[in-house]
Structures are given as C-alpha cells and as structure tokens.
Structure 1
C-alpha cells in the first residue's frame, strides 16, 4: 500500500468518525466537562490542593490536573467512541467491498487504528484548547503552550492509543463485537483502580518500573508530582482550601528521563492488542462475523450456558410474562408493558444482574447501599442504551412506526419504558432513601428520567448506543466521587445533590421529551 493510499484511508477513517451528530455531542460534552473540571476559586474549592493550600492556576498546574482527569474520562469514553466500525460496515453493506480489496489485514487494521487514534487525539486537543480559554478567564500567569503539549503527547496520548488498540481488537474479533466487548472493557477500566493504590501505597514518591503498566498514567504522574513538590498527599479534581494560606506554584521539571521512559514504554504496550487483532480478524466472512457455538468450539461458553440453564430458562419465561400480559391490555399500557418486556427478554443476563442487585439493595446495610445501587444502575444503563437504536440497527423502524401509536408515540414510550424499568430495579433503595436521604431519592428519580430520555434521543440522533453508553458510564463514575458539586450528582449516589440540581435534571428531561416529539412529528411529515 503506497503512501497516498494510506493517507487517504486514514483521513477517511477520521472523517467517518468526525462527521457525525454524535461527534458534535461529544465535543460539547467534553467542553462542558472541562469547564466543570477547573473550579472557580471564589467558590471555596480549587482544582489542586496540597495540605489546604491552593495550587495557582498557571499553565503547569492546569495542564497537569486536566490531563490527569481527562485520562480517566477518555480512558472510559474513548473506547466506546472509537469502536463499532466493523458493525457499521456490516450494516451498511460495505463489508463485502472491504473484504475484496487487496489491502492486507494488518494494513486495514493499521489504518483503522490511525483513524481512531487521530479522532481521539482531536478530542484531546479540544479539551486542551478549552483549558487555554479557562486559564485566560480564571488563571494566574501567562499562557504557556509547551506544558499543555507535553501533557497531551506524554500524559494523555498513551491512554488514547490503548483505547484505539482495544477498539480495533473488539471490531476484529467476532466474540467482542457486541455488548460482550463493551462490558469486558468496562470491567478492565474499573480494574485499573486496583492498580493505582498498590503503586501509590505507603506514600511512595519513587517511580517504579511496574508503573509502565498504568497506561492511563495516573500513578506515574502523581508520583512524579509528589517527588517534584516534595509532598506525600495531593488532592486533584476539586477540594476545599484555606484562603488565608499563600498560593503554591507547581515547579517546572516534571518530565524527568525516568518518567518519559515510562510513558514511552506505556505507548509500546498500548500497541500490543493490535497483534491478536491481526491474527483474529474476521475479514467480514459471514461464518466468522457471527460465529455459532459448534462441536469443539466455545466449550467455555457452552459450559456456562449449560450451568446457567436451570436458572435462566424459568427466569426468561418469567421475563416474557409482561409481554404476554401486554397483548391482552388495551391501548398504551399494553404497548408500554411490551416495550419493558422486550428490553428484559433481549438481555436476560443483565436482567438477572438488575434483579439480584435490587434484592440486595433491600437487605444490605445503609453504608453499602450506594455501591449496590451503582451496580444496578450500571446494568440498567447498559440494558437501555440501545432502546431506540435497536429499531434503526435492525431495520424495523418503519414497521414499528406502523403499529398503533406510530412514530410520535414510540419515542416517548421508549423513554417511559426505560424510566419505568429504572424505577422498578431501584425501588428498594429509593424506599430506604426516602426515610433518611429524601433529596438523594429525588435526585435518583429525576436523573433516571433525564437519562432515559437521553438514551432515546441520542439513539435516534446517532443511530447507535455507544455515545449514550460512553457518557453514561463516565457520568456514573463521576457520580460515585464526592466532588461537592451538586450538578455532578445526577443519581444521588454521592450525596451532593441540591434541590436546584434535582429540578434542573427534571427540566432537562422535559426539554428532551419535547425534542423527541418534534423529531417524530417532523419525520412523519
């Protein structure tokens, strides 16, 4: 493959990801999240605090802190934004054309990786430019581009490379093409938080070779900062400070040879998933894009299905009962019940997780109820992510719009079905919260309504589920952190919600419902 062809293919991959409605929504979300990252010191909280002293908002400090938070944000959302190209090729019919091209598997996957990485890096540059504006508005000292560029190249880029590599692997290997790959990546992303305390244990301020495996860079960056400022505790992301104490300034010299070597090593490790991707690439062969378990293949999957069969068969029949009941209920209640049953029947394992979590949230002690509810809501978000995109992906939108109620009703009915399911699985926790934390219960209800409408609206706009999934999972992680910012406590899990934030999410849900109605009526006419 010559250079001109490679350049054209890479640019095409970048354009296919960039020229979408979902990209505009992600850019707006990244700008809003960045604006919330850099707290206004007049609020009594700052982005970086060391022993109650605020670190001045100069280029060094802002570049460090925003990169640390952005690495976590893009470490989760980047994978879901980069993947899905193979499924799109199969759905649009371009898979056969690509399969017949003379480009080798390695070349095609390499082009896909470069396009995905370039797209994610573009989003990282949007965050960087937003922080430049924020430094001019809230910062102290002149704007210096070099610290930001260093953080972008060495701090953020390795994590983006890993996201692109794992996205290519998931699209190249059939068993990871669906929600199985989405869930496995989320588990992998959560597992990194077990590595960070081990790397930072006992107040260590020395870099270790093991930190090369922290590809997102949280632990090596924190250790590098601790050694640079000669401190053992740094609060990054927002915390109260004592305004009577003098400002601290982050010194230069963070990027030592040891830290640069660790980040370059992380870049090399981030490319390793491309090797199994090239070996397992299905090349859009029909018998490999959707493989069926046969004799001698997928023994582990078949064994798991056999072990779960005594539980899943009656459970699946139980999930189908609302659909049969909905067939006998007249009008909208029956159609709404059928929509709820369809979400559950199509994803029985997620339904089992939600049911088990709902039962556990009624029995666990008060101090652990937030964690259990977070697991329940994570399963709920994954289950309803494609509540509206399913019609578009399967080509049944016209058929679904022809049933009683039509397209105008279908939008708000899907949102109401997702909201009803969320209320059902969180009801035990909400009942307990109602007695000792009513504001958290109200925040959870308004957040569920807003998220349900967002799942339908984003599915309609983007023709897929991963934009909502990326934003939801990252928002859920932020919601579990006690930031003190009421606007970030969408589901009441951190206890920071205020009446204004509850009302704001409820109002956003009403606006979203109105947008759904306008979209449906416009499409009908």
Structure 2
C-alpha cells in the first residue's frame, strides 16, 4: 500500500471515528429511524397526477421513496452536519500537527471528504435498516435487498458525496466557512431541489427527473388516460390522499448511461474536494496580507512589535488573572494565545460590582458583538435601518432584515465553546447576567433594524420574533456548542414562515400571524431563555 493511500485511509478512519463518537449521533439516528417509519406509514408520500396515483407498496417503491427522502434531507441539512471538519482541528489544537505532517493537502482533504460522505451514508443507512425492520414487524417478511438498496446507491450516495465536497470547499474558501457560507448554501440547496420540479435543472442531484420518467411510463402503461406530465407530488402529509389508483412499478431501470451520470456526480464531488486544496491555507497561523499593511500605516493603533531586546515584562494589570499560572503566552511559552482574547478581555477588565451593572454589561456585550462583525455587515445594517424608515410598509425589506443578524444570533450561545472560555464564564460571578446581556444584545439589533416597520409600518407582530430568535440562538448554541444547530432551525423557520409567508410559522410580522402563533412563540422564547441562562453547559 502506497504512503498516499495509507495517509488517505487513516485520515478518513480517524475523522469518521471522531464523528461517530459524538453523543448527538444517537439523536440523529433516532430521527432517521422515525423518518423510516413515516415512509412505511404513508405519511411521507409520493404521488403522481395531482395526488391521484401511487405505486404498489413493494420493496422497490418503498426503497425509492425512502432514498428520495434521504437525498432531499441530505441536500438541505447534510451540509450543516458535516461542516466543521477543519475548524474542529483548530479547536482541538491538532492543526499544527496536521500542518507539520508530510501528508499532502490533497490527500488530507480527500480523507476528510471520504469521512464526511460515509457519515452521511451511516445516517441515511439507518433509515433503510429501520424500513427493513418495520417490514418484518408488520408481518410482510424481509424485503428483497436489491430493490431496496439500488435506489440508495443511485441517488443517496452521489448526493452525500457532493454535499460533503461543497461543505469542505466552503471551509477552505475565504469568507465562506461561517454563517455567510451557510446562508448561501441554503439558498443553493433550495434551488437544487426546486429546479427539477420546474424543469430547469442543469444537474439533477437528487435524480427526481429519472424517477419521474420511469414512474410516468409505468402509469401510462397501466392507465393510458392519465397525464403525468407535471412532476410528482412529494412531501409530508398529515392525511393520506383519498381514492388513489395504484400502479405496479419495479424500480428505475439501471442503464449504463444512468450509472455513468450518477458515478460522475461522485467523481465530481471528489474532484471538488481535491480542488479545495488550492485555497486551503493548511492551518497557516501567519496573518493575512491586510494585517502587515494595517500595521504599516500610521494611526493611533500602530504599535511597535516586541523583540527580545525591546520587550518588557507586562504589568500585573494587563489582563484578568487566572488561578494556577500567569496569564497569556508569556507565562507559558508553549501555550498558544487564546482565540478572541481581545473581546474577552473586555469582560475580564471589569470588576465584579461593575460587571453586575446591567447597562455596563450590556454595553460590553454590545461592543463585543459588533466588533466581531465585518465592516460590510455594519454598513448593510445601517442601510437596512434607513430603508426601513424610508419604506416601512415593505414586507420584502422585512424578510431581508430578519436574515441580516443571523451571524450575530448564531454566535450567542456557541461563543463560549468556540473560544474555549466556558469554564471561565461559568466560574465568574456574572455568568447568568452575561447570558442575559448577550440575549439583550441579540434582541436590540433586530429592534434597531426593524425600527421603521415597527413604528411606522404597523408590523408590531415582529416584536415576538425580537424576543424569540435571540433566545433560540442562545439556547441552541449552549446545547450544541456550535452555531450549526441554530442556523439549520432558523433558516427553515425563516424560509417557511417569512420567505414563503406561512402565517402559522410567521414570527416576523410578514404574514399577519394569528394570536395562537404569537402566544406560542412568546412562550417558547421564555422557556428557551430560562433554560439557556440557568441550564448547564452541555456542549
């Protein structure tokens, strides 16, 4: 076995073991098992001709519906499940070891891509196993493996490979490894699932066009009067369709052209993961080109770099003291400087009586939250405030304004974990007050962005979202330790409730939500906030 192949294999296995040891895996597997139950129970339904025809409940039909469900969910949410393979190296402080190893960047990234793909296939495979078990429990016997696994291999495996490659490429590209990349991917994933329905998809990632053509031929062969021209209906339905006509369908015909196209997607995913080695910085800790340029310019923040001849011992009050060892890298030469030291020093420089003052703590949290946002984000926020005052009745502007603070909200509860300061905050005398202040900042930002629609446009229902969304961000971050859980949940709520204007899920005053929805969001905000402030740090 060559050294490159051995390095690829060990990188993939090591990363896969890390993913499988995550305690949240059991919850994800349980959700996949439940989805398998919904497919067998007919709640996740696939019909043709405006919910008039469906296939006979054999292994081929159930396996295809299950595979289409898995591919759809992996397209929308798989990105957020596998993203973070590189940031985990930085947080675990193993990035210097990777950077100094002889493993090439292409081999390393292909190992990460293989691991993420296998992880998504484990989740999707648990759905297939649960479906087979439920077949047996219903007394129908063990289904034939070929009709059940063929659609899984044809449609789920390529989807998992492409999604993982995109997630890895986004982490390597500058500016796309955070919340901005998550937002862009969400819109791209929605377009990838909607375009085949509209008949305008250059690449059919989920294989819906192939499945529809095969099913349409079977329907026309048995019901010549049918007109299955439109794409099939696929989704979750509380009540099954009535008076359905069933047709016999034995699965998609596997041809050489179909195999080539689906295998091409897998190869494209691998090529994208290998190509990500070009922008991959290989965990280089050196500053970007902007930092030397900024330090060379004259200004009040220009400082002289320390050298062995000119450096002096820092004063005792330079930063917050920690028990057991001196603070900073000077006290321990081998220890790396903690990330985000400047924002956290703002809290550490306050004495306990001052920090407990609500307005002082709120001001510090507000300053820290805004310092973590880019200049582009701040300029965009000012534009939204002005536009809201100019056209306060625009619902389209309201939808955009509810998306703009997403990077700030996703950082609320996960910041303690990503900066490795959770023990320090938990042992401080103002831990709970700091979380309340963080929530208050998360509520103040949308309150400022929506000042025009709230005061002049009559969108007062948006106040419930001002209370609910930062509470959700704080609770989700403290529960998961990453911003990904909040991003997934919020983007779905935003897309369905605001962008699609579904009043039952509207929290932003866009679709005139009924009183029951407002009360529900208000109660959820209170429960989430109390749990996030008083609950233990579980990440």
Answer whether TM exceeds 0.5 for this pair.
yes
Check conservation: 2:193, 2:206, Cα contact below 8 A.
no
Q: Which residue of 1 aligns with 2:50?
A: 51
Structure-1 residue corresponding to 2:370: 344
Q: Deviations over 1:143-165 (max 9, x none)?
A: 66544423322212212111211
Deviation at 1:52, TM superposition (A): 4.3
SS in 1 for 2:535: helix
More helix by share: 1
- Contact conserved, 1:67 with 1:151, CA < 8 A, in 2? yes
Query: Cα distance, 1:13 vs. partner?
Result: 0.5
* Alpha-carbon shift at residue 117 of structure 1 (Å): 0.9
**Cα 1:158–1:20 shift into 2, 3 Å:** same
Structure 2 CA distance for partners of 1:147 and 1:385, relative to 1, 3 Å: farther
Q: Which residue of 1 aligns with 2:449?
A: 425
* CA–CA separation in structure 2 for the residues paired with 1:493 and 1:61: 42
Tell me by how many angstroms 1:116 deviates: 1.0
Q: For structure 1, list consecutive stretches of 5 or more residues without a partner in the other structure.
A: 202-209, 297-322
Local SS of the residue matching 1:391: helix
Partner in structure 2 of residue 515 of structure 1? 531
CA positional deviation for 1:89: 1.7
Is contact 2:418-2:481 (8 Å) kept? yes
**Aligned: 1:229 with 2:256:** no
Aligned twin of 2:270: 271
Partner of 1:88: 88
- Asked whether 1:386 is paired with 2:423, we answer no
Call closer, same or farther: CA 1:133–1:408 in 2, change over 3 Å.
Answer: farther
User: Structure 1 residue 260: deviation in Å?
Assistant: 3.8
**Structure 1 residues 11 and 142: alpha-carbon distance in aligned structure 2, compared to 1, 3 A threshold:** closer
Q: State the SS of the aligned residue for 1:215.
A: coil
CA contact (8 A) 2:182 2:487 kept: no
* Alignment partner, residue 456 of structure 1: 474
Q: Is residue 331 from structure 1 mapped to residue 357 from structure 2 by the alignment? A: yes
* Equivalence map 1:15-94=2 (5 Å): 15-24=17-26, 26-27=28-29, 48=47, 50-53=49-52, 55=54, 58=57, 59-94=59-94
Cα distance change, pair 47–293 in 1 and its aligned pair in 2 (3 A): same
SS at 1:77's partner residue?
Answer: helix
Shift of 1:276: 1.9
Deviation at 1:82, TM superposition (A): 1.6
Partner Cα distance (2:513, 2:46) in 1: 20
Paired residue for 1:411? 435
Contact 2:496 / 2:502 at 8 angstroms: preserved in 1?
Answer: no
Structure 1 partner of 2:245: 247
Q: Structure 1 residue 378: deviation in Å? A: 2.6
User: Which of 486, 503, 519 is the aligned partner of 1:468?
Assistant: 486
Contact 1:54 1:241 (C-alpha < 8 Å) held by counterparts: no
When normalised by structure 1's length, the TM-score is 0.71
Deviation at 1:273, TM superposition (A): 1.0
> Does the 8 Å CA contact 1:484/1:496 hold for their aligned counterparts?
no
Partner of 2:288: 291
Indicate how the Cα distance of structure 1 residues 220 and 291 shifts in structure 2: closer, same or farther if over 3 A, else same.
farther
State the superposition RMSD in angstroms. Answer: 4.6
- Deviation string, structure 1 residues 191-236 (Cα, Å, up to 9, x no partner): 53685466x16xxxxxxxx74x333444444455445535112222
Deviation at 1:291, TM superposition (A): 2.6
User: How far apart are 1:181 and its partner, in Å?
Assistant: 3.9
| 1:11 match | 13
In 1, the alpha carbon distance for the partners of 2:500 and 2:538 equals 42
Question: Shift in Å at residue 421 of structure 1?
Answer: 2.9
Q: Which structure has the bigger radius of gyration?
A: 2
State which drifts further: 238-247 or 330-339. Answer: 238-247
2:72–2:193 CA contact under 8 A, matched in 1: no
1:111 aligns with 2:111: yes
Aligned length: 469
Q: Deviations over 1:468-516 (max 9, x none)?
A: 2233324433446869895xx2647895966555544444443333432
